A = this chain, B = another copy of it.
Amino acid sequence: MGKVFRFERKTNGLQKINMRDIVIGDSNFVVMAGPCAVENREQLISTAKCVKESGSHFLRGGAFKPRVSPYSFQGLGEEGLELLNEAKKETGLLIITELMDKSDFGLIDRCADIIQVGSRNMHNYSLLKFLGETQKPVMLKRGYSATIEEWLLAAEYIHIYGNSNVILCERGIRTFDNTTRFTLDLGAVALIKSFTNYPVFVDPSHGSGMRELVGPLAKAAVVVGADGLLIEVHTDPDQALSDGKQSLSCEDFSRLMDELNPICSLVGKKLM
């Protein structure tokens, strides 16, 4: 590993990405929480408030949703972005949301502090090249069947076109065992941290598909060296329009943040 990659050698310390008062990378541990999909004003604002109160730094929430079935809820689109902007103003949280199509970039750029490239678009090289020509911070989720090398090369697409604000996010890979929705590959996180200077996040919600496993895997992410977490939180998980089974309630999320604190301290990271 390593020899095919030109960028992001571990030569000059961890890549830091500064947004307002938040620094990703360095010795910070950054949490991004919120619903899978933006559903309506009440759901979004109340979730934003609860994750803010528990110490989340970012609000996550999808306005454009890449759904496997065309018959599933496809997201609120532009209306969803307006609600994210509203939540941002009301809570002061930074925003991360997904871009599926470069023609939506203008809209999303006005709302998002970080643009997410989802697992199913990790191989969408047109999109990666396009984002490489911007300076927007990009969180590149691992394709659920991408090797570590393919994932790092996808990151290099963004780099080589001029944008070094790249954050990686491990979110589980597809294996023969469907008991859990995906299998979180924490060895990949430790490996990538050992020879690149990318900030690496972990998404234990997609990485398991079961809310009971989100807490244990979130803690494990801290000790293997991750720089932050992406967590699905919903005010009423059982009524969520997507991914309810893997969403934490506000109470669960608050408890998890309390439990993460001493683990972050132990490994020399600052959660808040």
A residues touching B (Cβ–Cβ < 8 Å)? 1, 4, 6, 66-71, 100-101, 120-121, 123-126, 144-145, 147-150, 153-154, 156-157, 160, 173-180, 183-191, 194, 207-208, 210, 212-213, 216-217, 219-220, 222-225, 262-263, 266
Contacts and interface: CB of A to CB of B under 8 A. Distances in A.
A52 to B, nearest CB: 26
Nearest to A129: B70
A248 to B, nearest CB: 15
A188 to B, nearest CB: 7
A238 B145 CA distance: 29
Copies in the complex: 4
Contacts of A175: 173, 175-176, 183, 185
Given A1-B179, A176-B176, 10 more contacts: A66-B125, A67-B125, A120-B125, A145-B145, A173-B176, A177-B188, A187-B207, A187-B217, A216-B225, A217-B224
Contacts of A125: 66-67, 70, 100, 120
Nearest to A215: B190
A75 B114 CA distance: 31
Given A125-B66, A223-B219, A174 B187 contact: no
B185 A177 contact: yes
B213 A220 contact: no
Given A70-B157, A176-B145, A220-B220, A212 B194 contact: yes
Most buried by B among A173, A212, A213: A213
Given A69-B153, A187-B180, A187-B184, A220 B224 contact: yes
A190 B177 contact: no
Nearest to A218: B223
B188 A216 contact: no
A174 B146 CA distance: 10
A13 B21 CA distance: 46
Contact of A124 (B121, B149, B173, B174): B121
A223 B157 CA distance: 35
Contacts of A184: 186-187
B70 A186 contact: no
A155 to B, nearest CB: 10
B223 A216 contact: yes
Contacts of A66: 123, 125
B179 A176 contact: no
A174 B173 contact: no
B120 A145 contact: no
A246 to B, nearest CB: 11
Given A123-B121, A187-B217, A263 B223 contact: yes
